[in-house]
């Protein structure tokens, strides 16, 4: 059934829980029940369409979602207007939109998210004014949390794209803090920074990194002034590997998802090749390459990934 032209539509909220029109019972987390019309549900949600039309269900459990927000979400399907987003309900509404596959509500959620990205106004997020850094922290948490249900990575891509456009002091502080504490860095946070590294050669001004490893020529600058996300990730991976002496999940994730060839190409496309950033990246990558080769009991698949990544740099 095509729903592209049918919804969103105002079917009238008064018809929800109507004893005359409700032929589907939805059970909520708090034990309460909502009566709904199958046509309204099917037109809005391809997931519910499958349960109702293909499997013939008359009772549906939505007990993994907050009951109050779930009720508001269902009411939105009747009225054709989105839930009013704020800091407390955005994640739950977004999750429901994706898991129930309500296309128009997914667009509303992503639109709200993009609106926050591209505006200095935080009034839409909470009743009280918050700082830009707090807003960015909220956006990063929501984007990484969305990975559990947004397989396309819409939120992470939107956030990464925005960070390639505008550079703010709190971006640098946030990146330095999170990447600097590599052991506590979550896999979702690491994924976000890898996306940034793959998307752009982002210069981090006035930052210094102490270096202790020699490259293949036996030389290594004692200090690097200025770096970008790719270099930052590799430096932290190097330090992490030096303490772990093994390929753990984070190092493997970097090898699998970081595109070294694209990163160096970005330096050229953005005009930084002649300023030493390509050589800087290759230098720290060469150091990591040598350390990886010294890891004991490397599996053939791990070795293949190592060679694929680093051979493109001429390591």
pLDDT value of residue 222: 35
**In 100-186, alpha helices (H):** 103-117, 132-145, 154-163, 169-180
pLDDT value of residue 209: 41
| pTM (predicted TM-score) | 0.70
pLDDT value of residue 173: 56
For residue 22 the two structure tokens come to 């409700």
For residue 240, give the nearest of 190, 192, 198 by alpha carbon: 190
DSSP 8-class letter at 64: T
Q: Consecutive sets of 10 residues in the chain, 315 residues long: mean pLDDT of each?
A: 70 93 96 97 97 97 96 97 92 96 96 84 61 80 88 85 58 69 87 83 47 39 56 90 90 92 82 73 91 88 87 77
Query: Which contacts qualify for 192-195: CB closer than 8 Å, 24 or more apart?
Result: 192/140, 192/143, 192/144, 192/156, 192/159, 192/160, 193/229, 193/232, 193/233, 194/233, 194/253, 194/254, 194/257, 194/258, 195/153, 195/156, 195/157, 195/160
């Amino acid at each position: 059934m095509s729903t592209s032209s049918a919804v969103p539509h105002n079917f009238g909220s008064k018809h929800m829980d109507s004893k005359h029109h409700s032929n589907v019972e939805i059970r909520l987390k708090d034990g309460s029940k909502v009566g709904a019309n199958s046509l309204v549900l099917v037109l809005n949600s391809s997931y519910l369409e499958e349960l109702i039309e293909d499997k013939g269900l008359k009772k549906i459990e939505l007990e993994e979602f907050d009951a109050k927000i779930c009720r508001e979400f269902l009411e939105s399907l009747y009225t054709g207007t989105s839930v009013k987003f704020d800091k407390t309900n955005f994640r739950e509404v977004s999750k429901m939109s994706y898991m129930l596959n309500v296309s128009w509500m997914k667009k509303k959620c992503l639109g709200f998210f993009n609106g926050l990205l591209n505006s200095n106004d935080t009034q839409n997020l909470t009743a009280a004014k918050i700082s830009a850094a707090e807003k960015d922290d909220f956006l990063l948490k929501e984007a990484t949390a969305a990975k559990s249900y947004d397989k396309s990575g819409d939120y992470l891509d939107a956030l990464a794209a925005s960070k390639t456009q505008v550079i703010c002091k709190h971006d640098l502080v946030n990146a330095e803090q999170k990447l600097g504490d590599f052991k506590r860095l979550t896999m979702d946070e690491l994924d976000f920074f890898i996306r940034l590294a793959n998307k752009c050669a982002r210069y981090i001004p006035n930052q210094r990194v102490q270096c202790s490893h020699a490259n293949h020529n036996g030389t290594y600058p004692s200090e690097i002034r200025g770096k970008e996300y790719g270099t930052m990730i590799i430096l932290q991976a190097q330090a992490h590997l030096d303490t772990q002496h093994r390929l753990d999940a984070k190092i493997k994730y970097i090898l699998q998802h970081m595109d070294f060839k694209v990163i160096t190409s970005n330096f050229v496309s953005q005009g930084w090749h002649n300023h030493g950033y390509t050589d800087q990246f290759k230098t720290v990558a060469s150091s990591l390459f040598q350390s990886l080769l010294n890891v004991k009991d490397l599996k053939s698949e791990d070795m293949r990934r190592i060679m694929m990544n680093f051979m493109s740099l001429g390591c």
